[in-house]
Amino acid sequence: MHRLVVMITKTIRLLSRVSEILAGLLIASNLAVLLYGVAARYLAGRSPIWMDELSRFLIIGTVLLTAGVVWIRNEHMRINLLEQKLPPKWASALKLYQWLLTVVISAAFAWYSWHYAFSVGRFTTMGLGISRTWPMLSMPLGFFMLFLFAILRGPFERKDLQL
């Protein structure tokens, strides 16, 4: 059992680091795009039409990519007053319900968004002129990562799972 916990912990750490590095690269790219747009507006009087669109896609991708990391570390915004006021047995049942809901919804959203991303492939974006599939792939990736992190952590916070 201990070996399994160590393996799960290492997997979570690796996936967290990869997600954070990718999110950092997306944020840095977004900063570069925004600075370019500001400089172009200041120097040339107008910014490129694709700048706003690319910035929006980068922000959405960053949020979706880090959703699983934030969830597994319990750093997301939530109110757990009810969990604190309930008897331990009922609080555990509520936590199990929340976990099941997270697993089911993230899996369903990953599946549906995967199909949606490829269903819009024949359309192009207005500013960038690329297939809409590319920016839409951040949705199934983000929801799948949330699903994977939820499955790896399990329904209850564990003291032996050191992140």
DSSP state of 76: S
pLDDT tens readout for residues 85-125: 888 899 889 889 999 999 999 999 999 999 999 999 999 99
Q: What's the whole-model pTM score?
A: 0.87
Q: Which alpha helices (DSSP H) does 45-155 contain, by range?
A: 50-72, 81-85, 88-119, 133-136, 138-153
Cα separation, 8 vs 22, whole angstroms? 21
Cα separation, 111 vs 4, whole angstroms? 28
Q: In sequence order, which residues have a C-beta less than 8 Å from that of residue 163 and are 6 or more positions away? A: 9, 12, 13, 16, 72, 73
Return mean pLDDT, the chain: 90
pLDDT, one tens digit for every residue, the chain (163 residues)? 678 888 888 999 999 999 999 999 999 999 999 999 999 999 998 889 899 999 999 999 999 999 999 988 877 777 677 778 888 899 889 889 999 999 999 999 999 999 999 999 999 999 899 999 999 999 999 999 999 999 998 887 766 555 6
Cα separation, 137 vs 132, whole angstroms? 9
